[in-house]
Amino acid sequence: MRRYLPFIIVAAVALITFGSGLALFRAKRPPLPTPKKDSIAAGAEETQGLHVRGNATAPVTLEEFGDFECPPCGTMAGVLKEAEEKYGARLRVIFHQYPLAIHVHAREAALASEAAHLQGRFWEMHDLLYQEQGVWTKSTDVPSLFNSYANKIGLDVDRFKKDMQAPEAKARVATDQKLAAARGVTSTPTIFINNVLLPPTSLNPTDLHAAIDAALKEKTAP
Amino acid sequence: MKGKRQRPREATRSRTPVILYSVAALFAAAGLADATYLTVIALTGEAAACGGSAGCSEVLGSSYARVAGIPVAAFGLLGYFSAFSLAVFAAFNYARAQKLFILAVCALFVATLWFLYVQAFLLHAYCRYCLFSAAISFLLMGLVVAAPGQPKEKP
């Protein structure tokens, strides 16, 4: 028996390693895309060139002109997420690209989100870019990090890399920048609620919720 | 050893390599667990999150974290599994296993030095899981240096 003991130990550890690795892989693997009702509505509008999240017929539309590298936009992403949870079907959010030239990787990040959009995962990349803003903005190897983000949200990474350079992605960013210029946007984040500009001093949860409440009241008023 | 009673001193001396290789096997098992975790998070893309550690994401998301598309952690997994298996066989007095164990540990140690260099001088960021792996391979190297001469070849 002692003669076979090392073989038994090694085989047992190999099995445990394989089994636990497989279990961990299954637990951590990103889920396959299962579009929710809301995102189907949003997807319908995305084909028209907008990044929309939420109920397509919501009484309040919040538009953000954002830059993924801008720290206040990162803070605002959390605030907007809370507002989306609070107002549910009464609020829809539209994101417009406005990468500022002063931010070294902002345009690259905008293109990464557009490349994700080409595979139907714009919002997943949007959320991850803001969530990890403190990491990639300080990185010396931003493309590799973006590739790992693409992998994390279940994109085809090779296609993602190509799409980062795709004319469609660049055109979408350019279109949003033209829209920003037309609407007088000069800084990020700039927020419009039902086409009314939210003053920069109101970019906080309290004032934002008050502005959404006011817009809701206005819509529901007889 | 079989059939003969050993004097207490001799018995203690012969037990030393067994204890050292058993400890080495435990260290290698810890390295194996770490490398398995790193391999899985590299394959799932979870490297991006990495427990909220900035340095970790930067290291595991860098171009140095893969060779020909294969996560380097997978090579670490193979390395630690080899070291573990060889340490187990060496603990059971397999002399060839001892030689191969030394080779495996040296390879792990060289790889560790390279990854420490990459983290310190090329990426300027450290990954806690990689540092844990580095500590394990330093401990294994310490045991290799501390291990006494080779045991007799098993018939």
Structural contact between residues A187 and A65, judged by C-beta atoms closer than 8 angstroms: no
Nearest neighbour of A152 by CB, restricted to B33, B48, B92: B48
> Across residues B76-94, what is the average pLDDT?
91
Q: pLDDT band for position B62 (50/70/90)?
A: confident
Cα B112 to Cα B28: distance, rounded to the nearest angstrom: 14
Helix ranges, A92-141 (H) = 106-117, 122-131, 133-136
pLDDT confidence band for A99 (50 / 70 / 90): very high
pLDDT digits (tens, 9 = 90+) for B45-58: 665 455 555 567 67
CB contact under 8 A, A14 and B81: yes
- Which pLDDT belongs to residue A47? 42
d(CA B114, CA A80): 44
B101 touches chain A (CB under 8 A): no
pLDDT for A169-217, tens place per residue? 999 999 999 999 888 888 889 999 999 999 888 888 899 999 999 998 8
pLDDT value for A218 = 86
Instruction: Determine contact: B1 vs chain A, CB below 8 A.
Output: no
Residue the block writes with tokens 């538009």:
A63
Cα-trace Rg, chain B: 18
pLDDT for A111: 95
Residue scoring higher pLDDT (A49 or A116): A116
- Residue A69 and residue A104 in contact, taking contact as beta carbons nearer than 8 Å: yes
Q: Determine, for residues B36 and A145 on separate chains, whether the beta-carbon distance falls below 8 Å.
A: no
- B129/B37 Cα distance (integer angstroms): 9
Q: Give me chain A's average pLDDT, please.
A: 85
How far apart are alpha carbons A15 and A124 in whole angstroms?
A: 35
Q: Are B12 and B148 in contact (CB under 8 A)?
A: no
Compute chain A's Rg from CA coordinates: 22
Estimate to the nearest angstrom the gap between the alpha carbon of A210 and the chain centroid: 25
Choose the weakest-confidence range: A140-144, A154-158, A164-168, B140-144: A140-144
What is the pLDDT, as a whole number, of residue B125? 78
Percentage of chain A modeled with pLDDT above 70:
89
- Averaged pLDDT of chain B: 80
User: Hey, which residues does B66 pair with through a beta bridge?
Assistant: B71
């995305």: which residue's tokens?
A46
Ordered DSSP codes for A4-40: THHHHHHHHHHHHHHHHHHHHHHHHSPPPP---HHHH
**Residues A150-162: what's their mean pLDDT?**
90
User: Within 13 A of B38's CA, how many CA atoms are on the CB side?
Assistant: 30
What strands lie across the sheet with A196-198, from one edge to the other? Answer: A51-54, A91-97, A60-66, A190-193, A196-198
Strand segments (E) across chain B: 66-67, 70-71
Side chain identity, residue A155: L
Q: Report residue B52 as tokens.
A: 């909220």
AA identity, residue B86: L
Residue with tokens 């190897």: A141
- Chain A residues in contact with B60 by the CB 8 A cut-off are 148
Q: What is chain B's percent helix, strand, coil content, to nearest 5?
A: 80, 5, 20
Q: How far is CA A39 from CA A34, A78, A156, in A?
A: 10, 19, 20
Q: Is A63 helix (H, G, I), strand (E, B) or coil?
A: strand
Task: Determine the distance in angstroms separating the CA of A76 from the nearest CA of chain B, rounded to an integer.
Answer: 19
The number of CA neighbours under 13 Å toward the Cβ of A43 is 12
Q: To probe the interface with B, which of A10, A135, A147, A149 has the most B CB atoms within 10 Å?
A: A135
Return residues 126-155 of A near B (CB < 8 Å).
128, 132, 134-136, 138-141, 144-145, 147-154
pLDDT tens across A78-90, in order?
999 999 999 988 9
Which tens digit of pLDDT belongs to each residue from B6-37?
445 555 556 777 888 889 999 999 999 999 98
Q: Is the ipTM of this complex over 0.85?
A: no
Does B44 contact chain A (CB < 8 Å)? yes
